[in-house]
Amino acid sequence: MTYWRLSGYVIFSWLVRNGLFFGCKWYRIIKDRNSANRQMTGGNQLKKLHILMVNLPYSGHTNPTLPLAKALVGRGHSVTYINAEAFREPVEKTGAKFEPYGKYYPEHPTENQKKRMSFRAAFDTALEIGERENPDLLVYEMFFHPGIEVAKRLQIPCVRQFSQSAWSEAAWNNAPKMFRLSARLIDRQILSYDDIRHMGIIGRSSLHDGIIGAKPELNIVYLPEQFQPERDSLDEKYVFTVPHPERETGEIKIPFDEMKKPIVYISLGSIISNKGFCKECIRAFGGKEFSVILTTGKIAPGSLGKIPPNIFAYSFVPQIEVLRHADVFLTHCGMNSVNEALCAGVPMVAMPFINDQVMNAARLTELGLAKRVRSFPSSGRQLLRTVREVAADGEMKARAEEMRRVIENQPGMDSIVEKIENIV
C-alpha cells in the first residue's frame, strides 16, 4: 500500500469513526447501539438484548418457535413477539411481550383472509414496532420469507427459523413432485403483486426464491440433523435442534391404566377433520387387539355413533402425554407431530396430504421409522394391516429408540441462544 493510499485510508477511517463522512448518520446509530449493548465484564460479555420475533398465524409455523422465545427470555433478554391475536396466550406463556398485527389484520379472519392478509400484516407491524422499539435483532420463521427484508430496512441482523426441513436447491430438486406443486400453489394464494411491490421483493417473491435465495448468518432448523434431506448441501450457517416437548396441561384425563397394549394413537393434526375417516377407523379397529386413541378434531365424538370399548375418541388430546404411552402413531406427518413422536421413540404409519407432510413421510420411510399408507380415500383394511405390521416390527422400534437417543444428545436451546448472542 502506498503512502497516499495509507494516508487516505487513515483519514477516511477517522471520518467514519466520528460520523463526519457522508451517510455516517446510520453508521453512528449502529455504533452507538452496539456500544450501549455491550458491558465489559471479563472482557466480552454481551449486555441483555432486545429481540423482535415475527411470525405468521399458523400453529405449525408458530409452535416450534416458542421454546426459543422462552429460552431467550430465560437468559434475561427482552423479546417482543408479533403474531395474530389468536396466539397471544401461548406467546405470553413464554414470558415474551406479545404484539398483535392490530390495524393491519381482522380480529376474526377467515381462512382466505389469513392467506391473503397475514404476510402484509406481519411485514407492516414488524416495521412499525421495529422503528419504535429499536431492537438489536430480528428473528423470523422461514414461511415469512420477507422477514429478511424487514431486517434490512431496520438495519439490524436477523436469524431464521425452520419449522420443517431446511430448503436448499438440492433438497428442492429431489423433493417429491407433490411438495414442489404445493409450494407453487401456495405462492398464488399468499401474495398479491401489490404486496410484493410494497415489500420490495419483486423477482424473489416465490417460496422457492424467498427461502433458498436468502440466507441469514444463522438458520435454526427444528428437526434432527439426520432427518434433514440433502444435509451436505447446507453449510455451517445451519444448526439443528429439537426442543424437548413440554407436557400439556388440561382437563382431559385419558384412562391409560385401563387400556390394553398395544396402544395406537391416530391423529391428522389440528387442521384436518373428516367424519368419514373417523368412522372408517372405528370400523377397522373396533373390537381388535389394539386400544386406539382417536382424535376427531372439529368432529364431535358423539356424532360418530356407537363407539366400541377399545376405542377412545376425543376432540383433542394432550399429544405429548399420549405419545409417551403409544406403541404406534398414525399421523399426517406434520413436522410438529413427527418431532414429538421421534422424541418419544414411537414408530409411525405415515399418511401425508400436502406441503412438507409429503417430504416428511418420504424421509420417515427412507430412515425406516415409518410405513406409508395412501391418503384419502383411505381403506380401513389397509390402515389396520399397516398398523399391525409396524406394531410387530421390532427393528423399526429399535430405530425409533435410537433416534430418540440421538435427539437427546443434540445441542439444546442454551447452545442456540449463545449462537444468537454471537450474531449480535
Residue pair 59/270 in contact (Cβ under 8 Å)? The answer is: yes
| Cell triple for 399 | 430405530
CB 248, CB 317: distance < 8 Å: no
- Cα dihedral sign for 402, 326, 227, 70? negative
Q: What is the DSSP letter of 229?
A: T
The CATH classification number of 256-408 equals 3.40.50.2000
- Please indicate whether the domains covering 48-240 and 256-408 agree at the CATH topology level: yes
CB-based contacts of 391: which residues, under 8 Å, 6+ apart?
A: 262, 264, 290, 327, 328
The domain at 48-240 falls in which architecture?
Answer: 3-Layer(aba) Sandwich (3.40)
Tally of CB atoms within 10 A around 232:
8
Per-domain residue ranges of the chain: 1-30, 48-240, 256-408
- Distance between CA atoms of residues 356 and 56, nearest Å: 17
Q: What is the pLDDT of residue 389?
A: 98
Q: How far is Cα 243 from Cα 110, in angstroms, rounded to an integer?
A: 31
Cβ–Cβ under 8 Å, residues 159 and 137: yes
Tell me what pLDDT residue 30 has: 40
Beta carbons of 381 and 283 less than 8 angstroms apart? no
CA separation, residue 304 to residues 45, 81, 137, 270, 381 (Å): 60, 40, 50, 19, 19
Amino acid 375: pLDDT: 82
Helix ranges, 94-203 (H): 111-133, 147-154, 169-173, 177-190, 193-199
CB 163 within 8 A of CB 142: yes
Tens of each residue's pLDDT in the chain, 424 residues: 433 333 343 333 433 344 433 344 333 334 444 444 444 344 456 679 999 999 999 998 999 999 999 999 999 999 999 999 999 999 999 999 999 998 889 989 999 999 999 999 999 999 999 999 999 999 999 999 999 999 999 999 999 999 999 999 999 999 988 889 989 999 999 999 999 999 999 988 999 999 999 899 999 999 999 999 999 999 999 999 998 777 666 678 899 999 999 999 999 886 677 888 999 999 999 999 999 999 999 899 999 999 999 999 999 999 999 999 999 999 999 999 999 999 999 999 999 988 889 999 999 999 999 999 988 666 889 999 999 999 999 999 999 999 999 999 888 899 999 999 998 8
Name the residue type at position 413. M
**Residue 260 per-residue DSSP state:** P
Distance CA 186, CA 100 (A): 24
Residues near 128 by beta carbon (within 8 Å), at least 6 away in sequence: none
Q: Which has the closest alpha carbon to 358: 80, 165, 83? A: 165
Q: What is the pTM for the complete model shown?
A: 0.82
